[in-house]
Amino acid sequence: METPRAVSRGKKVSRITQSYVLIGLIVALSVVATIVNPRFISINNIINVFQQIAVLGIVASGVGMLLVAGEIDISVGTQVSLIGVVLAFIIQTVTHIPAGSPGAWLTPFAIPLAVLAAFVLGALLGAINGITVIKSRAASFIITLGFSTVYSGISLIATGGGAYVLLGKFSTLGRGKILNILPVAIPIFIGVILISFVILKYTKYGRFLYAIGGNRKAAFVSGINTVRVTLTAFIVVGILDALAALILISQIGSALANSGDTYSLDALAAVIVGGMSLTGGRGTALSIFLGVVLIGLISNSLVIMQVNPFLRNVVIGAIIIVAVTAAQYSAERE
């Protein structure tokens, strides 16, 4: 009979092995893409890849930490879209207030107001999702899937099917570069990953997330406020979605009703491929990072190798199926 320590050691080895497998896949994919097109391994392309995955990495960090607690948020993509629409609407509206009108004094504060509104809205959307999941006691997957449709509808109503254009008024986060070399979005992405690492590995809150994801009833009996921790995790998702929306809208310079919709699938794919368990209680910041990098490299390599871009979603969907199947098989063997 295996001792608890032996089982724990076995799970740890399994997670380490999975990280090595992901690193191996990343290296193998890079080698193949480089053989097909040597430009893939260039410094400029590597920087480009990390700039492209910055938004995904930020969204995936929130999704990953929530998934550790055994909950799923499918609405993250439409949250990013809605927050982006509100952000761009405020900037466009306030900057066009005629001089001499009663609200003209707000014009210099258009961007700070929009950024503040984005974070407040992100926290509010996260709280709405969390409260509804907790109070309804329904599966978070279904609840957030419903909210995804709601947020998408609100974005369409707000834009009227059109777009809010910023005309270069908010470009630093998405297009700015440090020392004219490193895009601003990359250190923000790395910073979020590092903060996620610290939270999950070294804080009491992180331990609570793992405990709730491992066994919610046991966590509650042991004195953990499962409602508060779960709600906080949903709010964190919303706040990170707001940060992602700021960078995304800054990059593209406009906001459409569906600007961030694809991040729901991509973020879920990244964390699952990285080794997160759909039932909770397992996964690390390294899992999130490696999953995001792999998804980003797949997208970039398809472009570099001049593969039909419509094949991207087919590949990512297949990866999710394989990853979930492998995770289930692994869980049954433990």
pLDDT at 146: 94
* 321-331 pLDDT per residue, tens: 776 676 666 65
Reference 184, options 174, 194, 171, 169; nearest CA is 174
Which pLDDT score is estimated for 7? 36
Instruction: Provide the token pair at 86.
Output: 């509100």
In the predicted model, residues of the chain with pLDDT beneath 50 are 1-14
As a whole number of angstroms, the distance between CA 200 and CA 268 comes to 18
Average of per-residue pLDDT values in the chain: 86
Q: What is residue 326's predicted lDDT score, i.e. its pLDDT?
A: 67
Q: Which domains does the chain have, with CATH numbers?
A: 37-333 (1.10.3470)
The two three-digit tokens of residue 189, written as one number: 């992405």
Q: What is the pLDDT of residue 5?
A: 43
Cα separation of 286 and 281, whole Å? 15
Phi, psi of 144 (to 5 degrees): -75, -25
Kindly report the number of other CB atoms within 10 A of residue 28's CB atom.
10
Structure confidence at residue 15 (pLDDT)? 52
What is the pLDDT, as a whole number, of residue 25?
82
DSSP one-letter string for 164-197? EE-TTSS-HHHH-EETTTEETHHHHHHHHHHHHH
- Record the pTM: 0.89
Instruction: State residue 27's pLDDT score.
Output: 87
pLDDT of residue 110: 87
**For residues 334 and 331, what is the distance between their CA atoms, to the nearest angstrom?**
5
Question: How many whole angstroms separate alpha carbon 153 and alpha carbon 80?
Answer: 13
> Crossing angle, helix 226-252 and helix 185-202, to 10 degrees?
170
Ranges assigned E (strand) in the chain: 163-165, 177-178, 182-183, 254-256
Residues whose CB falls within 8 Å of the CB of residue 297, separated by 6 or more in sequence, listed in order: 26, 29, 30, 33, 49
pLDDT digits (tens, 9 = 90+) for 136-156: 989 999 999 999 999 999 999
